Amino acid sequence: MAGNYEAVQAKAIAAKGHEVSVISIYNKPLLWLFNWGKITYRKVDTINVYEGGFPFLQIRFVGKLNIFFRQFSYKCAFKRFVSEQGMPDVVHAHILSFASSVIFLKEKYCLPFIITEHWSKINVPEIPQWLRTISNVYHKADAVICVSQVLSDSLKRNFQVDSIVIHNMVSNLFFQSSRKGRNGNAFRFIACGAFRENRDKGFDILVDAFAFGCFPKNVYLDIIGDGPDRPYIENKIVENHLDSQIKLMGIKTPDEVSDLLCHSDCFVLSSRHETFSIVVIEAMAKGLPVIATRCGGPETFLRSEHGRLVEKENVKELADAMNYMLTHYSDYNSEDIQKYCYNHFSQNVIADKIISIYKEVLKKNN
């Protein structure tokens, strides 16, 4: 899953006729010290991909050392990139922590520098001090993009940063087919996300809501994803005697997710925090109605004709919305949902908005 959002965006910009390269540096175990500085190259469609790693130390008080390791790896990758591709016209960094490691490209080479912020750690009530320490990177950038208005407001409130709102894009893959319609008498809800220990996706709330709703045996819930909190969710399902109706699907490829959405009737987002929620627009690209919590993203774009919004961590309200969907399913027009999604979140539409920012920044720097 790591880098999936950036990959879709890179492909969308390349499809507009631009030369796109990606430098990607990952956290690695301490033994990676023996490979430190090693950069691999591959080509994905027309995109040049340079990848490397840095030895990440999971010890307190070594944050600066990790930053040094990561920045050194980026410098190695950039050196190879320039030797093979030449100097870029613009640098587009994603999320604050990584942008802080590549701001040297702006400072040393005077390259136009853009940051897109879509990190959930920025959309929390209390911003950690270590993030505040590196937040000056926002002010050094030529432009800052946020994927939702809520996130933009957070940057303004916490860091006094003005930003441009450009929503996430949904991969063209999800527009290539539509939902298949009801499978007999069965009704199938679907959810998707990581089973993190902080339970930010709210799957515990979702299972409780399914239990509270007392749904008949022909109503099912599929949850795509995996992670360290999965055993807790499995136990909760068993304790509520729902193992015949709720199925944990594990990790799926984008193609598999697309197919599962086609065979579902309603998407449910139960998150506690989101910066936008790509999974919601992936479901809408299939024409599915959506039930979503007001968690920082969906409330900025989900309209009443597309589904229902509920308060986060409210089991009864979520259960009521799911029961409502069972009886009002036919009120939602799949073609209208799909059309709205394409006009607002497709690769073609969002790529044009991003490229317009590139042009503005390049003009300002010339």
End-to-end CA distance of the chain: give it in Å, rounded.
37
Contacts (Cβ under 8 Å, ≥6 apart) of 304: none
Tokens representing 117 are 């912020």
Q: Is the C-alpha dihedral spanning 183, 265, 195, 205 positive or negative?
A: negative
For the beta sheet containing 40-44, the strands, ordered from the edge strand earlier in sequence to the opposite edge, are 21-28, 47-55, 40-44
CB of 292 within 8 A of CB of 316? no
Q: Write the pLDDT tens digit of every residue in 2-28.
A: 677 899 999 999 999 999 999 998 876
Tokens representing 337 are 């949902």
- How confident is the prediction along the chain (366 residues), in pLDDT tens digits per residue? 567 789 999 999 999 999 999 999 887 655 655 666 689 999 999 999 999 887 666 544 445 666 777 888 899 999 999 999 999 999 999 999 889 989 999 999 999 999 999 988 887 778 888 888 889 999 999 999 999 998 999 999 999 999 999 999 999 999 987 777 666 789 999 999 999 988 999 999 999 999 999 999 999 999 999 999 999 999 999 999 999 999 999 999 999 999 999 999 999 999 998 889 999 999 999 999 999 999 988 998 999 999 999 999 999 999 999 999 999 999 999 999 999 999 999 999 999 999 999 999 999 887
Q: Count Cβ atoms within 10 A of the Cβ of residue 330 and give its class: 0-12 exposed, 13-18 middle, 19 or more buried.
A: exposed
Q: Write the pLDDT tens digit of every residue in 73-112.
A: 899 999 999 999 999 999 999 999 889 989 999 999 999 9
- Quote the pLDDT of residue 72: 85
Where helices occur in 292-346 by DSSP H, the ranges are 315-328, 334-345
- Quote the pLDDT of residue 67: 74
Q: Which amino acid, one-letter code, is at 124?
A: V
Where helices occur in 225-328 by DSSP H, the ranges are 230-239, 254-262, 278-285, 315-328
Beta strands in 159-255 (DSSP E): 164-165, 187-192, 219-224, 246-250
